[in-house]
Chain A
Amino acid sequence: MAVALILLLVAIGSVLFHIYSPWWWTPIATNWAYIDHTINITFWITGFVFVAVIAFMAYCVFRFHHKEGRRADYNPENKKLEWWLSVGTGVGVAAMLAPGLVVWHQFVTVPADATEVEVMGQQWQWSFRLPGKDGRLGTSDVRNIAADNPMGLNRDDAHAQDDVVIENGDLHLQVGKPVKVLLRSVDVLHDFYVPEFRAKMDMVPGMVTYFWITPIRTGTFDVLCAELCGAAHYQMRAKVIVDEEREYHAWLEQQKTFAELSSAKAIVKATYQSGGK
């Protein structure tokens, strides 16, 4: 029976495609292997249901397709069966939801020892900021943005002066150190997206959003924008480099602070603007 066979082949083909597909997630680079595990659990459960339903359907088509003289059963309800199926479905759903919620709890609970870095999105480039020697990021506001202050840092905030500002460069992170990535946009929605990190979050003007990760392997990773941000959305790229401790510090030494970047001209201007907050 051709139709039943094709239906069955769709199910079998899907499973085979899943097993042999060369397209699979990127090798993970952070602590979020939990997310991959939850996806795997979900694949097992949903895969089982998919094959079971399609196979049952194909069997029905094979066994009960119209022949001369066949007459269907009259069978409006079967309460017991319907309840069993509902309960079974509920169990399957719980088996996916429970680990999902546990991992979500970890995802939204930032460890106390996480250091902060800031990523700022604007059409269509990325900027980064690291806290200076004081270990704190200074305040910022889009109203402070000027040619010599593209991230809109608050010049009157002492914590801002020693912040390391990276314009048009790459972000480096230290392997093994938990980091809270603070996300900010000055124009439209963006989304800081590194596939190998698994974590991502939108950047919303007027808000500071975040996620946290612990990089677990060194390497260079592509940064893409994952939230439509206008004409050049697809070209908004940067790189994140995860270093060993020594390379990381060597890189950090070479970066300029906000104070260093502010030229003499900018200082004059800052004095002029000091009526601001």
Chain B
Amino acid sequence: MVDIPYEGIEGIPPAEVPDVELYHPRSWWTRYVFSQDAKVIAIQYSLTASAIGLVALVLSWLMRLQLGFPGTFSFIDANQYLQFITMHGMIMVIYLLTALFLGGFGNYLIPLMVGARDMVFPYVNMLSYWVYLLAVLVLASTFFVPGGPTGAGWTLYPPQAILSGTPGQDWGIILMMSSLILFIIGFTMGGLNYVVTVLQARTRGMTLMRLPLTVWGIFTATVMALLAFPALFVASVMLLLDRLLGTSFFMPSLVEMGTLSKYGGGSPLLFQHLFWFFGHPEVYIVALPAFGIVSDLISTHARKNIFGYRMMVWAIVAIGALSFIVWAHHMYVSGMFPQFGYFFATTTLIIAIPTAIKVYNWVLTLWRGDIHLRVPMLFALGFIITFVNGGLTGLFLGNVVVDVPLSDTMFVVAHFHMVMGVAPIMVVLGAIYHWYPKVTGRMLNDALGKFHFWVTFLGAYLIFFPMHYLGLLGVPRRYFELGDAAFIPTSAHSLNAFISVVALTVGFSQMVFLFNLAWSLFKGEASGGNPWRATTLEWQTPETPPGHGNWGKELPIVYRWAYDYSVPGAAEDFIPQNQPPRATQLIQGAAS
């Protein structure tokens, strides 16, 4: 059973927490720019990720203009289209979602939620951000180099990624690999911090099984990322060597534009295995923090403990472990050893079970709750729908033979956008509405928030749900134009135009959100320290926004798990984790 100590604090020694050796900023520069405070680093990560994310958003508009209205926009040619899809995908998956969940939310929430003063290695944490910023700048620079960014697709499959038939073969691909290498170096510095902080810097009483699921999600995702990114690192270095030094790690004997190339003896499939050994865990590196965060949003706003906490923790760990043995389900039609299909289909479908458990537990948390339909809760509900939808279509693509007709079609595009695009972004947005008051001390505007939610959720659903059916019809992905194909009816072109119009609408509606963020910073209603009446430690800080070192003189002591909402007998419908049992006010007449 869940451990809820109502009595017996005598066993806990008095708080005696000396000031840890934090670097105290002495100037404006070390306070706001070269800061070692995880909260400042978190904001730096978030702003940088959002800025490059806006570039990816604009690229998606250009892609949708071309797909919806082929031939209308003469400023988009076939090469540029490939460059747009490549940069859009890479930015969204790595430079936005990974950086935002781990570098942004991880930095802000881990020390606060576990009751630490900061990350355990603040200086390395600062370096992590600056290396990440460098990676983003190198990536962005590819828009301005001769030949432009690479158009190899975000999967960067050789041989075409480094051959002359693909745009960006001169500088784009070299800078892309360099940027990825930098990103991984930067991430590793941050990631080690998150793991060690969760393991070593939890405050007194904060056992692992009392951690909020947000921390479990980010922690597990970070461990996975530390294990998965090296595969991408190796692949990037090897591909760079193939391109620059003419080695042949991934390059067999082949003809390049009519003449025999100097390459020979390498394996294109080797790259795919390395890429997806990283790439599949990457899906869960984005998903697990979202799983964790959404659990806390649902629990807080439904005023009810998360249902099946222990099962939720084990499901996160099981998904994390299983996700390392499913990678080749991205390669069913790659030409790899056909017998692999049995193994990878089986492991892939097994992963559906812990994932389904999480979904059940989210909706069961709503059962007999006291559901406040505030903006963060709306986004959580939107997440459940889009995630269930995207997860279920994953059962098509994971089931080897079903994948054969669907792979490389718009079905795949629709699936992964729903499950690792829309669903995690629902959580990101919900989380911003949820924690913005802690970061700024002000509430975001509620009416604008609701408008933003409905347009984004319904719009995104209208974009990606019908898109599956284009794929079912057989429309291939990564096509600049569909051209003449007897099997594609004109109605499919109309659907494409419809999707483009909705996509542009949803895209522009994000401006409402940006306005809300800026406006509320100055004009938003003051929030106080704990506007949602939440239990977890970050809401119990002595100051809001929390000061350097987070906790004032003494670290909090944790007496209970993170989900004591609506405890029978308690007067309030929440009991903070650091509230001593004796301090809990009881309903008059209730037995203690």
Contacts and interface: CB of A to CB of B under 8 A. Distances in A.
B341 interface: yes
Contacts, number: 325
27 contacts: A10-B461, A24-B472, A42-B395, A46-B396, A53-B359, A57-B384, A61-B373, A72-B370, A72-B565, A74-B567, A76-B305, A77-B2, A85-B357, A104-B342, A107-B404, A108-B341, A143-B253, A143-B260, A187-B163, A189-B159, A200-B408, A221-B486, A222-B487, A228-B152, A230-B163, A230-B166, A234-B78
B109 to A, nearest CB: 23
A86 B346 CA distance: 16
Nearest to B487: A26
B401 A38 contact: yes
A14 B78 contact: no
B303 A72 contact: yes
B1 A77 contact: yes
A35 B401 contact: yes
B350 A93 contact: yes
Given A72-B303, A74-B566, A64 B369 contact: yes
A7 B163 CA distance: 48
A89 B356 contact: yes
Nearest to B564: A74
Contact of B401 (A23, A56, A100, A123): A100
Contacts of A39: 396, 402, 405
Interface string B144-188: 000000011100010110010111000000000000000000000
A184 B157 CA distance: 17
A21 B166 CA distance: 36
Contacts of A209: 335
B8 interface: no
Contacts of B485: 222, 224, 237
Given A187-B165, A201-B333, A72 B566 contact: yes
Interface string A1-37: 0010011001100100100011111100000101100
Contacts of A225: 476
A82 B309 CA distance: 11
Nearest to A186: B255
Given A23-B492, A53-B388, A66-B371, A231 B349 contact: no
Contact of A222 (B339, B480, B486): B486
Contacts of A206: 252-254, 266-268
A85 B362 CA distance: 13
B381 interface: yes
A14 to B, nearest CB: 6
Contacts of B458: 6, 10
B363 A60 contact: yes
B399 interface: yes
Nearest to B393: A46
Nearest to A189: B157
Interface string A70-113: 11111111100110011001100100110011011001100000
A101 to B, nearest CB: 6
A266 interface: no
Contacts of A65: 371-373
Contact of B395 (A3, A46, A189): A46
B349 A96 contact: yes
Contacts of A38: 399, 401-402
B561 to A, nearest CB: 8
Given A200-B333, A200-B405, A206-B254, A57 B366 contact: yes
Nearest to A141: B253
Interface residues of A, number: 99
A230 B356 CA distance: 39
B479 A200 contact: no
B205 to A, nearest CB: 18
A108 B269 CA distance: 19
A216 interface: no
Interface of A: 3, 6-7, 10-11, 14, 17, 21-26, 32, 34-35, 38-39, 42, 45-46, 49-50, 53-54, 56-57, 60-61, 64-66, 70-78, 81-82, 85-86, 89-90, 93, 96-97, 100-101, 103-104, 107-108, 122-124, 141-143, 145, 183, 186-189, 191, 193, 195-196, 198-207, 209, 220-222, 224-235, 237
B260 to A, nearest CB: 6
Contact of A201 (B152, B254, B335): B335
- In the A-B complex, the 5 residue pairs with the smallest Cβ-Cβ separation, listed nearest first, are A206-B252, A195-B474, A230-B165, A209-B335, A188-B160
Given A57-B381, A71-B370, A228 B157 contact: yes
Contacts of A231: 78-79, 82, 151, 165-167
Given A49-B392, A74-B305, A100 B478 contact: no
A205 B163 CA distance: 13
Contacts of B400: 100-101, 104
A23 B2 contact: no
Contacts of B474: 25-26, 195
A230 B165 CA distance: 5
Given A24-B473, A96-B349, A209-B335, A123 B260 contact: no
Given A61-B373, A77-B308, A187 B159 contact: yes
B385 A54 contact: yes
A96 B395 contact: yes
- Name the residue in B399, B482, B573 with the highest tally of chain A Cβ atoms < 10 Å from its Cβ: B399
B466 A17 contact: yes
The listed residue with most A CB atoms (<10 A of its CB), out of B335, B408, B479, is B335
B18 interface: no
